[in-house]
Amino acid sequence: MNLKHIFLFLLLIPGVTFAGSNTLVVASWNVENLFDTIDDPDNPNDDSYTPDGWTHWTTFRYTRKLSNLAKIIAAMKPDILCLAEVENRQVLKDLVATLQKEQQYDLPFILHRNGQDTRGIDVAMLSKYQPVWTNWFCAFPGQRDVLVCDFIVQDRPLTLMVNHWKSQLGKKEESGLIRTTEAQAVRKFVDARLEKETSSAILILGDFNDNVTSTILAQDAGLSLDEGLVRTNATKRLFWNLSGLLPEQERGTYYYAAAKRWNSFDSISVSPGMLTNSLPSAPWQAMPETYSIFKYPDHVQTNGAPKPFRYVRSKVDGNRMVMGFSDHFPVRVELKAN
C-alpha cells in the first residue's frame, strides 16, 4: 500500500487529526524519574519516591517538579513530545493538567502503557494530534519498550519511534549487549517500513544511553552523523543523526559528574527521505537549522550541566533537595511539510 492509499484509507477513520500549519515541532526529553507520591504495591521500585522513602518525595516536591517541567515544555512549544522515565499514566495526566493550568499549553493526547522495566519507568508521548496507529515492542526482557506512533498531520504521514535503551550501569559487556539487541530490533522495524515505502518520514529519537559516535548507534542502529554518507548510501537505509550538525564538544545532553564527563545520550535521527532535496522525498522534511539541544536558562548550572531534580546525599554539603528540572537536556527539531 503506497502513501496515497494509506491517506485515503485513514480519511475514513474517526479521530484522525489534520493540522493547519505546514511546520511541526518534535521534541524528546528524559524527565528524570517522574514518579507520583503513591506507593504502588505492584511496583516495589517506586518506594524511594514516596513521602517515607529516602527521597522524601512529598506532594509539594512532586507538584514543583511538574511545574518546572511544564515551564521548559511550554518554552519548547512541541506539537509532539516524546518522554522517558515516567512512572505511569497518572503522572502524564498530571503533567498535561499542569501544562494547561500554569502555561496555557495543550498536549491532550497521551500515549503510554506499563512496560517491563525493572525500575518501573516507561517511555511515553504527549501530542496535539491523535495517532492513527500505535505499537509497543520490548527488544530485551526487563527493559523499556520502544513506542511507535503513526500520525497524519497536514495530510501527511509521519512515524515516531521513542527509545530509552539500557543504561551503562553494571557490567559493560552485558549492558552493551542489551543496547546492541535494542538497536538491532529498531533497525529491523525501520528496514521493514522502508522496504514497503522508501520515502517514509520516520524519526528515531530518545535516550539511547550511548554516545552518538558509538558503533551501537552508528552501525547496529544505522544512525549516521554524516549527512553526505546518508545521501550517497546505496541501500537508502541509513538515518541521519541530527547531532552531526553540532560540533563534537556541543553534543552533550547528560553530564556524568562522578567522571566529569559529558555524554551525547539524547538525539533525533531522521529517515533518508527527510533530508533536503532527497530522492525519493518523504512527506516531511527535517529543517537542519532548527535542530538543537534545548537549554532553558534556569536549567543550566554554572558548569553548563543540566540542573536535576533530586535528593542529594553528601558528606561534604549535607543532604539536600535540588529542585531543578531533569539531569538531561531535551532535544528539539522542526519539520516542514514537503
Per-residue pLDDT at 145? 98
In the chain, where are the structural domains located?
A: 22-337
Per-residue pLDDT at 61? 97
> Per-residue pLDDT tens for 169-178?
999 999 999 9
- Residues with pLDDT less than 70, the chain: 1-20
> Per-residue pLDDT tens for 80-135?
999 999 999 999 999 999 999 999 999 999 999 999 998 999 999 999 999 999 99
Per-residue pLDDT at 18? 43
Q: Which helix (H) or strand (E) holds 270?
A: strand 266-270
Q: Which spans in the chain are helix H? A: 3-10, 59-76, 89-103, 172-196, 215, 227-232
Q: Please say whether the beta carbons of 282 and 201 come within 8 A.
A: yes
**Maximum CA extent, the chain:** 64
Per-residue pLDDT at 2? 53
Per-residue pLDDT at 67? 98
Per-residue pLDDT at 41? 86
User: To 10 degrees, what angle do helices 59-76 and 89-103 make?
Assistant: 60
The class of domain 22-337 in CATH terms is alpha beta
Q: Report percent pLDDT > 70 for the chain.
A: 94
